[in-house]
Homo-oligomer: A and B are copies of this chain.
Amino acid sequence: MDEPITYTVKGAAIETGLTEDTIRYYEKIGLLPRAKRKPNSHRVYRQEDVETMRMITCFRKTGMPLESMKPYLQLSRGEDLSSHPELYSMMEEHKRKIEHQIASLQQIVDFLDLQLQSGGTHLHKESCTLAEPEKRPPDPRFPI
């Protein structure tokens, strides 16, 4: 039978763009499950683990705190979504947040376009004014 590919911590780092330290840190804080060890106690990662790491970097790009990722990552490790209605609505909620975030980013792109096109014929601050509908201080980006 064909041996499934595995990775050392360094290999996983190269594969994912994380650093070795960061991978170990993620394990330390319980974001990644404790990796299997070889007899010499070195970590071994399988393709599946690398995918999880890629998911983390992907989520991280959305500015999501590591702590908030945990439920999603646990879910994708074999859990059944339909049996976790509160996770389901968390995901819906999160999706809405990201869509809102995309809108913000698009505004900035528009803003930059304005600045770039007009070759500098002065300021255009009026765009970039979506702001949040709720204007209460406790910034509600990821309250979970």
- A124's nearest neighbour on chain B, judged by CB, is B76
How far apart are the CA atoms of A15 and B137 in the complex, in Å? Answer: 10
Q: Is A119 in contact with B58, judged by CB distance below 8 angstroms?
A: no
How far apart are the CA atoms of A83 and B122 in the complex, in Å? Answer: 11
Copies in the complex: 2
* CB within 8 Å for A135 and B17 given contacts A83-B120, A119-B81: yes
- Does A45 make an interface contact (CB < 8 A)? no
Which A residues lie at the B interface, using CB under 8 A? 13-19, 48, 51-52, 54-55, 57-59, 61-63, 75-84, 88, 91-92, 94-95, 98-99, 101-102, 104-109, 111-113, 115-116, 118-126, 128-132, 135-137, 139, 141
